[in-house]
């Protein structure tokens, strides 16, 4: 029998048992399939899609249609993994009716198991209504990229006491509203540790230190899957796929130019009767040698 995806009840139990949660982003069928084969616990179809796949310089231009399209591809690639999809910029701030319409699309058309919303106490009512509608919600506080223009850049959060208290209040408001977990992004380690120990639901950190209940990284960061990878202090890279892709494509281009690709083993040959019809004689010097296509 095929493995069942993880669920939010088991995630809470994993926190109680001290078992870390692993989460990675994915945006398409092959990335999701590879992540599932690598046994990741949760796949996040993040709106970081905008930066790492669509070529925008922030997550703000990402639309609901983009998210539905990519979530659906991820769901096809990772049928046995718990999939969380981001609600993009400004799709959950104009009232719960509009928010639930978007969430319905991510789940019914995209086949997500849960959705993620950026924000703290100010979106607690939306979180509550979404959970009451039967949808698991992952919160996201700290550096919330959809508000980057308001925050004034990609700044570390929780550096002073007031900010630490605000983050703690936000985390508690989300837990109280029914969120099943909270992403803590770019939060000082001490503050993330304090939030993690106060909450019963798991925290999943990105640049939030070692004491969170789980960790999340962006696929393209883990693999350096870009031509101009910018090192980030909170990321560990585990591969250099970008360089491998560039070298492989470069080699292909060279071999096309110097005619070493395709080689004998890559061609299909016709019967003698075809050669006869074309050239009036069999096995002209011009024709390639026969290669079995079996």
Cα radius of gyration (the chain): 25
C-alpha to C-alpha distance for 13 and 10, rounded to whole angstroms: 5
Instruction: Specify burial of residue 150 (Cβ count, 10 A radius: 0-12, 13-18, 19+).
Output: exposed
- Residue 41 near ligand KIV by CB under 6 A: no
In the residue annotation, 285 being an active-site residue is answered as no
Helices and strands per DSSP (H, E), number in the chain = 12, 8
Stretch binding ligand KIV (CB under 6 A), from 39-47, 102-110, 151-159, 265-273: 39-47
- Residue 46 near ligand KIV by CB under 6 A: yes
Of 126, 245, 239, residue with least CA distance to 174: 126
Question: Which listed residue (185, 255, 285, 289) is catalytic?
Answer: 185
CB 205 → ligand KIV: shortest distance, Å? 9
Which residue, 41 or 185, is less far from ligand KIV as judged by CB? 185
Peptide bond into 294 cis (omega under 30): no
Residues of span 127-146 touching ligand KIV by CB under 6 A: 140
- Residue 218 near ligand KIV by CB under 6 A: yes
Contact assessment for residue 172 and residue 127, using Cβ atoms and an 8 Å cutoff = no
Stretch binding ligand KIV (CB under 6 A), from 26-34, 45-53, 154-162, 243-251: 45-53
- Residue 47 near ligand KIV by CB under 6 A: yes
Which residue, 50 or 275, is less far from ligand KIV as judged by CB? 50
> How far are the Cα atoms of 5, 56, 63, 226 from residue 153, in angstroms, in the given order?
36, 16, 21, 22
Residues of span 145-184 touching ligand KIV by CB under 6 A: 183
> Using CB under 6 A as the criterion, which residues of the chain lie in contact with ligand KIV when the complex forms?
25, 44, 46-48, 86, 140, 183, 185, 206, 216, 218
Q: Which residues are identified as catalytic?
A: 185
């Amino acid at each position: 029998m095929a493995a069942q995806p993880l669920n939010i009840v088991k995630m809470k139990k994993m926190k109680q048992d001290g078992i870390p949660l692993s989460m990675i982003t994915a945006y398409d069928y092959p990335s999701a399939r590879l992540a599932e084969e690598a046994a990741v616990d949760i796949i996040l179809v993040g709106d970081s899609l905008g930066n790492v796949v669509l070529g925008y310089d922030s997550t703000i231009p990402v639309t609901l249609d983009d998210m539905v399209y990519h979530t659906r591809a991820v769901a096809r690639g990772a049928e046995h993994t718990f999939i969380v999809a981001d609600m993009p910029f400004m799709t959950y701030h104009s009232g719960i009716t509009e928010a639930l319409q978007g969430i319905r699309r991510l789940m019914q058309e995209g086949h997500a198991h849960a959705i993620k919303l950026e924000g703290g106490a100010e979106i607690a009512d939306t979180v509550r209504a979404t959970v009451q509608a039967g949808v698991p919600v992952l919160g996201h506080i700290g550096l919330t990229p959809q508000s980057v223009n308001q925050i004034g850049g990609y700044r570390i959060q929780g550096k002073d006491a007031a900010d630490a208290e605000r983050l703690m209040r936000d985390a508690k408001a989300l837990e109280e509203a029914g969120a099943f977990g909270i992403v803590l992004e770019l939060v000082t380690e001490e503050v993330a540790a304090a939030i993690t120990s106060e909450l019963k639901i798991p925290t999943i950190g990105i640049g939030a230190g070692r004491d969170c209940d789980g960790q999340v990284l962006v696929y393209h960061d883990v693999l350096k899957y870009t031509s101009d990878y910018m090192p980030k202090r909170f990321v560990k890279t585990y591969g250099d796929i970008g360089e491998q892709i560039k070298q492989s494509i470069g080699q292909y281009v060279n071999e096309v130019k110097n005619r070493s690709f395709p080689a004998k083993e890559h061609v299909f040959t016709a019967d003698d009767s075809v050669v006869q019809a074309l050239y009036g004689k069999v096995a002209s010097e011009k024709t390639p040698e026969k290669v079995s296509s079996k």
